Amino acid sequence: MKRLRDFVALLATTLKEIFDENAYARFLARTATPPSAEAYAEFVQERHSAPIRRCC
Amino acid sequence: MTLMRRLLWMGVALFSAAAIGVIALRRGEPINALWLVTAALCTYAIGFRFYSKFIAAKVLLLDDTRATPAERLENGRDFVRTNKWVVFGHHFAAIAGPGPLLGPVLAAQFGYLPGTIWILVGAVLGGCVQDFVILSFSMRRDGKSLCQMAKEEIGKVGGFVSFIAVLSIIIILLSVAALIVVNALKNSPWGTFTIAMTIPIALLMGIYLRTLRPGKVLETSALGFVLVMLAILGGQFVSHHPDLAKMFTLSASQIAVAIIIYGFAASAVPVWLLLAPRDYLSTFVKLGTIMLLAAGILALRPTLQMPAFTRFIDGTGPIFAGKLFPFAFITIACGAISGFHSLIASGTTPKLIARESHARMVGYGGMAAESFVAIMAMIAACTLTPGAYFAINSPAGVVGTAPAEVAATISSWNFPITASDITHLASSVGEESLLNRTGGAPAFALGMAQIFSRALGGERLIAIWYHFAIMFEALFILTVLDAGTRVARFMLQDALGHIWQPLGKTGSYPSILFTSALVVAGWGFFLSQGIRDPLGGMNLLWPIFGIANQLLATVALCVASTIIIKSGLARYAWVTMVPLSWLVAVTFAGSWAKTFDSNPRIGLLAHAAGLASGTISAKAADLPRLIFNDRLDAAVVGMLVIMVALILVESVMEWWRVLSGRKHAVTHEAPYVQAEALGVSS
């Protein structure tokens, strides 16, 4: 049961990483800003300025 | 290794040999897809367990006591220590694009065997190795990019060539991507409506994410997915409605114009509004569909209808002309070895690795997973009857446009199909016609739809499944298109900024509009060539894309070989030099054939000469443009090859200087720093 719980938790973390939810949480912690529409827009702008995110 | 483990691995090896034996030696009778799956999984397992471990221990000298950049430079932004499996998922989601799905579908024209063998051997000895070593070397250099490593380790030419190769690949890739979407959606009101709806859905997602639920990406993506499914059902309604169907029935040129406008707009509007939500939606659908396809193939174990080899290994293939060597190895890039991966492996991923040993699972294992996606695409294409496969994928210039004419031509190749089969096939998926839909996407969609419908819904739901698969591919490809346009725009702004500073300002709107227009004009030019090509465009563009992609892999392997030699490990340089030699042979032979072959279906210059002399017919008004295009394409291929030859020569000279003792080898590895005792585990 514990293994299953661990697996589900790992899967959820992986999905949150792929879908940038973890990165947004880190952004809020790093910039010490509360979650808001403006903070999210700034985060997305910063996140998608990375040169190459997806392959062909 | 314990006795039990030895016996286990011997069993895996025997199982793998047996499965490869069956797929390679069985002739004249259909084989079950499970043999391909078994051969693939066992081959990856052996490659990972033994070869990657050897590389990690002897070549890369991975050391868990050494702090990774994620630990040393942790900043909560790019450098973040992350669990191995999370990085694996992140890396896989980044490298898995449309390439591994479409390349194998196109290469299936040679039969299932050549492509399958290349996918397995190419991945285990080439692609996985490239991704693994570049990831590790980047990780040892604070997450530097391939271009930076090429500049530091080989020389300035290396850095410049990498930059031009990357930009060229992106431009050619985008034109190919756009052409695939055009061919999938032309004269298809259902498909066009569904894909058109993904734009307002993405805008809605962007606004929802920005204003209502900031940061809740998974929730928003799930919501977007539900809306897209409704759009698929709406598409069926549209296709049956006389007025709406007319409105959404667009010709290839009309769809091309719409895509060009979309590409420009997506690159120029704020990223949160369109690009980011589309990227998330596409990733959501992509991961789900890949899982679904794997489950469908494992559960249903379909039978392959395509023979092991077809007559087209002689170079007369209808989908693209050219012999098995080198064209099969250029056509399948992403499932076997893809230079583009080296950009991801030296991009975000090395900054997330918590321990050096994790690079093995992420780099080597991630590529093995991608290669398995290519095997599934091969299976999906080969479960179609060869007659149906060639009817969908062959261009009008080869098989004609009327069902009777197409059926007669394809049946004459010993792949029987009737005009009524062709008509029934199209009507079963709710389309007027499936003929001349080059590019691989519709054939793959039909293969997927047949697999899915066997599990759920049968014939009744095959049209829904087909359009689900088309939506999945087009959404996925258009995401590459908008993100790629934006990336190319950034690169161009960066380069032009050195010439005139205002152009380098990424936030300046005039600069954004100007550089976006340049990029869109670049891929739009190749797209317009593709849609006017009577041979379907893929014959022209896909090999050029494959050559460009493999040339980038050549650059990556040159960088890796140089670092290995400079590290005093020349005795192990064969690890990267073997795939490098193969790629040099493949890409240079492919470039030569594409430029100088005397067959005008292959050689660009022969095609131009044929047009000029009148042996190839074309409208008089189009002649100068067509001849110019052929010569320009030949020049593009020639330019890429010359630049890669330069980097190759520069690398060989550097190896010679180091090995002969004329130069003291200096690598640009970051200094050793002891890792913390407690890092991120697993």
pLDDT at residue B1, rounded to an integer: 77
Cβ–Cβ below 8 Å for A56 and B97: yes
Instruction: Report the distance separating Cα A38 and Cα B115, nearest Å.
Output: 49
**Amino acid making up residue B347:** G
Q: Does A9 touch chain B (CB under 8 A)?
A: no
Cβ–Cβ below 8 Å for A50 and B78: yes
Residue of B nearest to A16 (CA): B218
**Do the beta carbons of residue B375 and residue B112 sit within 8 Å?**
no
The CATH number assigned to the domain with range B8-75+124-187+250-659 reads 1.20.1740
Q: Which residue has the tokens 């990774």?
A: B68
Average pLDDT rounded to a whole number, residues B48-61: 98
Q: B680: pLDDT confidence band, cut at 50, 70 and 90?
A: low
Say how many CA atoms lie within 13 Å of A48 toward its Cβ: 27
pLDDT at residue A50, rounded to an integer: 61
Cβ–Cβ below 8 Å for A48 and B479: no
Average pLDDT rounded to a whole number, residues B30-51: 96
Instruction: Report the distance separating Cα B433 and Cα B449, nearest Å.
Output: 16
Q: Which long-range contacts (CB under 8 A, 24 or more apart) does A41-50 make?
A: A41/B210, A41/B270, A41/B272, A43/B215, A44/B271, A44/B272, A44/B276, A45/B270, A45/B271, A45/B272, A46/B77, A47/A20, A47/A23, A47/B276, A48/B271, A48/B275, A48/B276, A48/B279, A48/B486, A49/B490, A49/B506, A50/B78, A50/B347, A50/B348
In B299-419, DSSP assigns E strands to none
Closest CA to B403 of B384, B380, B420, B388: B420
pLDDT at residue B668, rounded to an integer: 92
Question: Which position has the higher pLDDT, A1 or B526?
Answer: B526
Q: Does A25 touch chain B (CB under 8 A)?
A: yes
**Amino acid making up residue B147:** C
Q: B162: pLDDT confidence band, cut at 50, 70 and 90?
A: confident
A17 Cα to chain B: minimum distance (Å): 7
Residue B506, pLDDT > 90, answer: no
Bridge partners of residue B82, in order along the sequence: B353
Per residue in B220-232, pLDDT (tens digit) is: 999 999 999 999 9
Instruction: Report the distance separating Cα B35 and Cα B303, nearest Å.
Output: 10
Range with the poorest average pLDDT among B420-424, B428-432, B471-475, B516-520: B471-475
- Chain B 189-248, CB below 8 Å of chain A: which residues? 209-211, 214-218, 221
Cis? peptide before B326, omega within 30° of 0 = yes
Residue B677, pLDDT > 80, answer: no
Q: Does B347 touch chain A (CB under 8 A)?
A: yes
Q: Which residues of A touch B99 (CB under 8 A)?
A: 55-56
Of B177, B287, B348, the CB nearest to A50: B348
Cβ–Cβ below 8 Å for A29 and B76: yes
**Amino acid making up residue B117:** I
Of A17, A40, A43, the CB nearest to B86: A17
Q: A45: pLDDT confidence band, cut at 50, 70 and 90?
A: confident
Q: Does B582 touch chain A (CB under 8 A)?
A: no
Q: How far apart are the first and last CA of chain B?
A: 21
Tokens describing residue A4: 């299953």
Cβ–Cβ below 8 Å for A46 and B77: yes
**Amino acid making up residue B283:** T
Cβ–Cβ below 8 Å for B344 and A14: no
Closest CA to B480 of B101, B53, B52: B101
Question: Which position has the higher pLDDT, B245 or A50?
Answer: B245
Tokens describing residue B342: 């080296």
pLDDT at residue A51, rounded to an integer: 63
pLDDT at residue A25, rounded to an integer: 93
pLDDT at residue B155, rounded to an integer: 86
Per residue in B320-352, pLDDT (tens digit) is: 999 999 999 999 988 999 988 998 899 889 999
Q: Which residues of B touch A48 (CB under 8 A)?
A: 271, 275-276, 279, 486
Per residue in B462-479, pLDDT (tens digit) is: 999 999 999 888 888 888
Per residue in B122-151, pLDDT (tens digit) is: 999 999 999 999 999 999 999 999 989 999
Cβ–Cβ below 8 Å for A19 and B214: no
Q: Which residues of B touch A24 (CB under 8 A)?
A: 214-215, 217
**Do the beta carbons of residue B264 and residue B516 sit within 8 Å?**
yes
Closest CA to B83 of A39, A18, A2: A18
Average pLDDT rounded to a whole number, residues B152-179: 85
Average pLDDT rounded to a whole number, residues B414-427: 95
Instruction: Report the distance separating Cα B122 and Cα B614, nearest Å.
Output: 42
Cβ–Cβ below 8 Å for A51 and B347: yes
What string of DSSP letters covers B233-283?
HHHHHHHHSHHHHHHT---HHHHHHHHHHHHHHHHHS-TTTTHHHHHHHHH
Cβ–Cβ below 8 Å for A16 and B218: yes
Tokens describing residue B235: 């598409």
Q: What is the ipTM of this complex?
A: 0.91
Residue of A nearest to B280 (CA): A19
Q: Which residues of B touch A14 (CB under 8 A)?
A: 85-86, 88-90
Q: Does A15 touch chain B (CB under 8 A)?
A: yes
pLDDT at residue A33, rounded to an integer: 93
Q: Which residues of A touch B217 (CB under 8 A)?
A: 19-21, 24
Of A16, A36, A52, the CB nearest to B347: A52
- Segments making up each domain of chain B, as ranges: 8-75+124-187+250-659
Q: At B338, is the secondary structure helix, strand, or coil? A: coil
Per residue in B542-562, pLDDT (tens digit) is: 888 888 888 889 999 999 999
Q: What is the dihedral of CA B124, B130, B136, B137, to 10 degrees?
A: 150
Per residue in B574-586, pLDDT (tens digit) is: 999 999 999 999 9
A34 Cα to chain B: minimum distance (Å): 11
Q: Which residues of A touch B76 (CB under 8 A)?
A: 26-27, 29-30
Instruction: Report the distance separating Cα B131 and Cα B361, nearest Å.
Output: 11
Average pLDDT rounded to a whole number, residues B646-665: 93
Residue A56, pLDDT > 80, answer: no
- Chain A 28-47, CB below 8 Å of chain B: which residues? 29-30, 35-37, 39-41, 43-47
Residue B207, pLDDT > 70, answer: yes
pLDDT at residue B401, rounded to an integer: 92
Question: Which position has the higher pLDDT, A56 or B461?
Answer: B461
Q: B27: pLDDT confidence band, cut at 50, 70 and 90?
A: confident
Q: Which residues of B touch A34 (CB under 8 A)?
A: none
Average pLDDT rounded to a whole number, residues B654-675: 93
Q: Which residues of A touch B480 (CB under 8 A)?
A: 54, 56
Closest CA to B327 of B589, B147, B577, B142: B589
